[in-house]
Structure 1
Amino acid sequence: MSTTTPTSNSPALLDAERYHQIQQFYATQMQLLDDGAAAAWAGTFTEDGVFAQNVKPEPWRGRAQITERMTVGLARVAASGLVRRHWFGMLAARPDGPDLVRTRYYAVVYQTPWGGRAEVYLSTMCEDELVRTDEGWLVRYRMVAHDGVG
């Protein structure tokens, strides 16, 4: 088995075990959101975590605010009779120390009205800083860039 040494221009590669852990983290995190569990989803952020979007003037800061804002958003979606599902893909992850990983991925959100057909609601590119804690991997900072927005 040969190994390749990255050149100085190549990003460091994340080992397979941590990559798998991060994929599992995202699967669990997004299923919490899709299940309407706002507080549990917010619990996947550090206590001082940040959730920023290019379509919002100010980021949400800290678990309490993230929980509050997401609870309102999920209630609005539920009241509209829609089911939303998040799909993450094209995950690139690079280590930035033993307990910090920076990720970049695409997220597509599908929505389906009761009795209707699924449609793409939103397409985004996301960048996260994930930290390993005693609780497992948590988001310290997330930036969601909605496609088609300046």
Structure 2
Amino acid sequence: MPITATFTDIYTAVCQFYGRQVQLLDSNRFEEYAHTFTPDGEFQHTPGVPPARTHAGIIEELRRFNTRFADDPVQRRHMFSMLNLTPREDGAYDARFYALVLTTRPGVKEPVVGPSCLVHDVLVIEDGEVRNRSRRVEHDHMFTLA
């Protein structure tokens, strides 16, 4: 979808982008998911694990992370909500939203809920397409009281 200059059109394009991106992730289409990032993109999704950088690095990190499910067949669904999109002076956009992960196992009716997260993205528009420049995920259960 070509992106026009209005904020409403950009917000809509970002929502469409996230819908496509998360379905790639939940379908284990890691190569396609990685290419939703800029070539130098950064992806940090697990506390204590350094960010993955570049398409190849993101693919490698997702494969590494998902080895934990090799003997435990699951369907994971990432639910994104409460998107706040803010233009930056450099032409990119800060996007903050909530993410909740639902994990379902064969034969188990009720999904496991969690983690609950706050996601910080920097998005750019390149050649009419939304791309992630960076993603940092904060897990809610890791918060500390000040």
Length-normalised TM-score, structure 2: 0.86
* 1:7-22 matched pairs, under 5 angstroms: 15-22=7-14
Task: Return closer, same or farther for 1:78/1:110 CA change in 2, 3 Å cut-off.
Answer: farther
- Range moving further from structure 2, 126-135 or 106-115: 126-135
* Whole-angstrom distance in 2 between the partners of 1:130 and 1:95: 9
* Whole-angstrom distance in 1 between the partners of 2:9 and 2:69: 36
Q: What's the CA shift string for 1:35-79, capped at 9, x where partnerless?
A: 110000001011110012461241111111101111233343354
Q: Give 1:97 shift.
A: 4.7
* 1:1-150 matched pairs, under 5 angstroms: 15-53=7-45, 55-77=47-69, 79-97=71-89, 99-116=91-108, 117-134=110-127, 136-150=129-143
- Range moving further from structure 2, 86-95 or 133-142: 133-142
- The equivalent of 1:10 in structure 2 is none
**CA root-mean-square deviation:** 1.8
Q: Secondary structure at the match of 2:48?
A: coil
Q: Give 1:96 shift.
A: 1.5
Counterpart residue type for residue 101 of structure 1: Y
Aligned length: 137
Runs of 4+ in 1 over 3 A off after TM superposition: none
Q: What runs of 5+ residues in structure 2 fail to find an aligned partner?
A: 1-5
Q: Secondary structure at the match of 2:133?
A: strand
Task: Return closer, same or farther for 1:96/1:62 CA change in 2, 3 Å cut-off.
Answer: same
* Whole-angstrom distance in 2 between the partners of 1:25 and 1:78: 28
- The equivalent of 1:7 in structure 2 is none
Q: Secondary structure at the match of 2:134?
A: strand
